[in-house]
Every structure is written in C-alpha cells, then in structure tokens.
Amino acid sequence: MTQNRSSAVMQQRVEAHDSLDYFPTPPWATRALCERLMRLQPLTQLTCWEPACGEGHMVRPLAEYFHQVFASDVHDYSATFPAQDYEGDFLTCWDHPPHYMDRECGPDWIITNPPFNAAEEFVWTALRRAREGCAILVRTSFLEGKARHKSLFSKRPPSLILQFTERVPMFKGRLDRKGSSATSYCWLIWEQRPGLTGQLEWIAPCRDRLEQLSDYPTDQSEQAPVPLFDGTPHD
C-alpha cells in the first residue's frame, strides 16, 4: 500500500529542542482569529506584539486589524522580512520591545504561533506581558495531557478555544498554498479580564473568503515560464 507523505505534515512532528521550529502560518488563519477577536472588542485602536514573527506571515494580517503591530523573533529574519522590529528571545529578554518595557505600557494583545516545544512557556510569558490578552495557535493535541493540565489548564484555562474545521497546512520553512496537512490546529485565547472560561467554538470554513493570492510567494507555475536554454550562446 502506498501512502502520500510528501506534502502532509503528520501529527507526530518532532523538532529538536534547539530548533527554531519555523513553520509559517497561512495568513487566512490569522484573519480568522481577528474576525472573532473583533467580536470581543474593537481592535483598530489596539496594539499587538507578534513575538515569534518569523518572516511576518502573521504580522501582515494582524496589521490589517490592529492599530500597531510589533514584530520580534529570536532569529534575525530581516533579510526576508525587513519589517522585523527586534531580534530577541521572547522567554528571557525583558528589554524588548523598548516601548513595551513594563506591564503598564505593554501591548494590548500578544498573538503568535510559537515554537511547539515552548508553547506553554510562551503562554505564561504572554500572560505576564499583555494587557488585554493573548492568542496562541497550537496543534489541537496541545489540549490533552496530564502534565499540561496540571501545569497550565487547571491553573489558567483559556477563555476561548477556536477549533478550525478546515485544516491549516503548515510546512517547515515555507508557505505552500496547495499543500495538505494531517494536523488539526486551534487558537487558544486568554483574556485578562474575567469572563469566558474554556468556551469551545468552531471556526466555520472561511479559507476561501479570507485567503488572498498575494499571501503567498509567487507560485512558479503561475509565473511566465522561464525560457529554456536553447543552446544559443549569449553575447
């Protein structure tokens, strides 16, 4: 029996502990989050920090909704994402971003798709730094497990769990509009203010509506074909 493994990111994705775990997020998945957040509060006057920005595939859609978005990452992606504001480890650097140095003037929201190996630490760090709340994109399997229940969910359950009904295809180091995935993802949202606790909602199919061709690098098959070398020497 043959099985097509070429494009599917399997559930058992394993990353070395020192890996950057760079799996860029298709922008439509971030727009789906923002559409739901807008029902909690208007976003156009609020600030947002994307602290594991990679090449900015979340930053760009966040900027469509928020007043200001700050982008940092432990790795310097400025060669391919010049809008990266800062290079720093979100979990250990307290001196960034400069204008969010203390809780009093911290960002309203912290939103990211964190490295999977450090997702829980990202949640706790984001909760210490964000004024309004944080939203973290995780594999749905992040919700299970006795250890994480003890250390996180029993102490601080998310306000909202937004489960994607569509697959969100993610691949190491690249966006691929045509790729498929076997992994299920959800957004976990923690609001600072008391209110919702552990409310589960489904994100109705929205990819067709929220996806834009310009979200993706120009697909070679959609570019003008590169002329083949015909043997004629160049001048």
Ligand X SMILES: C[S@@+](CC[C@H](N)C(=O)[O-])C[C@H]1O[C@@H](n2cnc3c(N)ncnc32)[C@H](O)[C@@H]1O
Q: What is the β-pairing status of strands 185-191 and 199-203?
A: unpaired
**108 contributes a contact to ligand X by CB under 6 A:** no
- In the list 91, 127, 143, 182, the residue contacting ligand X (rule: CB under 6 A) is 91
Residue with tokens 């299970």: 144
**49 contributes a contact to ligand X by CB under 6 A:** no
* Min separation Cβ 86 and ligand X, Å: 10
CA atoms within 13 A on the CB side of 192: 17
- In the list 53, 69, 110, 188, the residue contacting ligand X (rule: CB under 6 A) is 53
Q: What is the CA radius of gyration of the chain?
A: 19
* Min separation Cβ 225 and ligand X, Å: 30
Q: Which region among 61-69, 106-114, 149-157, 197-205 touches ligand X (by CB under 6 A)?
A: 106-114
* Min separation Cβ 128 and ligand X, Å: 14
Whether the CB-CB separation of 165 and 202 falls below 8 Å is answered with yes
Distance of CA 82 to the CA centre of its chain: 18
Residue with tokens 């700050």: 70
User: Residue numbers of the site for ligand X (CB under 6 A)?
Assistant: 20-25, 51-54, 57-58, 73-75, 89-91, 112-115, 118
